[in-house]
Amino acid sequence: MFEPNCVHFADIPEGELEIHISKYSKFGLAFYKSFLIKKGVNPVFYIEENSTIYKKDFSSLDKYELTNREKYYQEYCSKTIFYFMQKYLHCCKNNKVELQDTWEIYYFLFNLFSHFKVFNNNLEDNDPDNYYFEREWRATNNINFKLLDVVKVILPENKKKQFEFDFPELKDKLKTL
């Protein structure tokens, strides 16, 4: 639906990291959720792509049709919201107040839709395209942090000595796989 520039986090309990590690890598940084929330990180809203939704048919007040949710959102975003925003931005380019309001609406919608993620419930848990188990959180901004903000560092056992040499201050926070 959107392909925003985001920073992604996974809210996965340590005992359930196996699938995530098999899809991505054995390297990771952990932060407290409260730290990330203060930085603007929020969970995504998962949308099952094959679920249906009632779509209003405006040819009749009482008429609705069932449609695929992903198709509906894609159509609504591309044909309705962005068409309207582009048209309205062009119309109000000489009015600074309306232009500012329009940009605020645009960024509100961008931030809202940037936290939607479509998934397919029919995929196996370990399928690379099955994102649901990631329990993803996102930020549409950079997340600046200090080494002191890191709660845990996860890495392969064969990288432990080099890591401890490079980052002795994080030695106590190390978990190897």
Compute the distance between CA of residue 78 and CA of residue 153 in angstroms, rounded to an integer. 40
> pLDDT band at residue 1, thresholds of 50, 70 and 90?
very low
The string of pLDDT tens digits covering residues 24-81 is: 899 999 999 999 999 999 999 988 888 877 766 666 666 666 677 777 777 776 666 7
In this predicted structure, the answer to whether residue 10 has a pLDDT above a threshold of 70 is: yes
Task: Please say whether the beta carbons of 113 and 1 come within 8 A.
Answer: yes
Compute the distance between CA of residue 84 and CA of residue 1 in angstroms, rounded to an integer. 17
How much is the pLDDT for 128?
Answer: 84
Give the residue with greater pLDDT, 45 vs 89.
Answer: 45
The string of pLDDT tens digits covering residues 11-28 is: 998 888 888 898 889 999
The string of pLDDT tens digits covering residues 112-158 is: 888 888 888 899 988 888 888 889 999 988 999 999 999 999 999 99
> pLDDT band at residue 102, thresholds of 50, 70 and 90?
confident
